Structures are given as structure tokens and as C-alpha cells.
Amino acid sequence: MRGLSTELAEFPDEGGPVRDALWYCDMTTTPDGDPCGFDERVDEIRARYGPEHVVARFITQAKNEIGAAVERTQRRLASAGLTVGERQ
């Protein structure tokens, strides 16, 4: 991650529900904290940074993996009887 591999190595990616939930929270809210859909958030990131920026390139490359985490979290919420509103 931008030259910090050594420093970040001590924090393994647990790859489970906690990570999924964190990604869900990040990818279903705007920078101002308003609820949004996943695709809306990805579009916002791309527009804010521009197509050549490392952040925009990363989000494009990681969209499927992050989207899957969002979907898993939505299923977990639904199975617990919880619903989360989304701004349309």
C-alpha cells in the first residue's frame, strides 16, 4: 500500500466479517457521512480523484472484491433481521 508494506505487515488482513463490515461502512456512505449505494460511492471516488489517480485505479481494480464484502455484510444484516436504509 503505497510503500508501506513493511509497516503494514504486522497487521494481517483477517479477511472475515469485521473487515467486510468496515468496507461496507466505508463504501455505503459519502465523504460527508450520508448513506449511498455502493455503485454511487465507487463513481464518487472515481470522479473526485480522476481516472489516473492511484485511488481511482485501486477502486476500479478492487471493485468486485469490495462489492462482494458489501453484499456479504448486507446478507449478514438481513439474516439478523436488520435493515439499513439507502438514499436513492
Asked if residue 87 belongs to a domain, the reply is no
Which of helix, strand or coil describes residue 16? Answer: coil
Task: For residues 57 and 53, give the distance between their C-alpha atoms in angstroms, rounded to a whole number.
Answer: 6
Task: For residues 62 and 80, give the distance between their C-alpha atoms in angstroms, rounded to a whole number.
Answer: 27
Q: With beta carbons less than 8 A apart as the criterion, state whether 27 and 72 touch.
A: no
Q: Please, what is the average pLDDT of the chain?
A: 91
Range of the domain at 35: 15-79
Asked if residue 86 belongs to a domain, the reply is no
Asked if residue 6 belongs to a domain, the reply is no
Structure confidence at residue 87 (pLDDT): 46
Asked if residue 84 belongs to a domain, the reply is no
Task: For residues 66 and 19, give the distance between their C-alpha atoms in angstroms, rounded to a whole number.
Answer: 10
Structure confidence at residue 66 (pLDDT): 97
Q: With beta carbons less than 8 A apart as the criterion, state whether 13 and 28 touch.
A: no
Tell me how many domains the chain contains. Answer: 1
Average pLDDT over residues 26-38: 96
pLDDT tens for residues 43-75? 999 999 999 999 999 999 999 999 999 999 999
Joined together, the cell numbers standing for residue 38 give 455502493
pLDDT(28) > 80: yes
pLDDT(1) > 70: no
Cα dihedral across residues 80, 81, 86, 88: positive or negative:
positive
